[in-house]
Amino acid sequence: MNEDLGLIKEKVYAPLRMEVTNYQAETESQDYEACRYQLNGKKIISRSAKETPKKPGQFVTFWKRPAPGPIEPFHEADDFDYYIITVRSGDRLGQFVFPKSVLIAKGLVSTPRREGKRGFRVYPVWDTATNPQAIGTQRWQLNYFFEMGEDLSRVRELFKA
């Protein structure tokens, strides 16, 4: 388990009696600390986002590779409940907790009518989005974000979706 996820497990999940089980690092996307686990029985796909030098926000991958074959976006038929993205900037640490249903509605997960995305940007509260599309994206994304040090009831609410 990577250091940031371990810290969140200790400082956020454990006090809320949320148990991480069946942790499995993924062989691909290790640059993004790709893993899967269960959190109180909910199936989680997890990645860490990366800061990029020329744009605000952080980039994260969101794909799978059917063996053998090229990468492809996750599909609504894939077995997961949440896609959790850990973000860090200096001493600030947080997570986006996106329910699968929201990712489908936003076009990030494939459906029979629409192909999803293989990666996208996230905009934590500490980043300033600079163009209209990024501002709109940040606005909806922050509904699914918590920062370490916040009231833990916020985290509990995110997992009720």
Q: Are 146 and 154 in contact (CB under 8 A)?
A: yes
Domain segments of the chain as ranges:
3-158
Per-residue pLDDT band at 161 (split at 50, 70, 90): low
Q: What does the block give as tokens for 141?
A: 């994304």
Q: What average pLDDT does this structure show over 131-156?
A: 94
Q: What average pLDDT does this structure show over 2-23?
A: 93
Whole-model pTM: value is: 0.95
Listing DSSP states for 68-104 in one string gives SS--EE-BTTSS-SEEEEEEEETTEEEEEEEEHHHHH
Instruction: State the Cα–Cα distance between residues 55 and 1, nearest whole angstrom.
Output: 28
Digit-coded pLDDT (tens) for 110-137: 999 999 999 999 999 999 998 999 999 9
Does domain 3-158 bear CATH number 1.10.150.80?
Answer: no
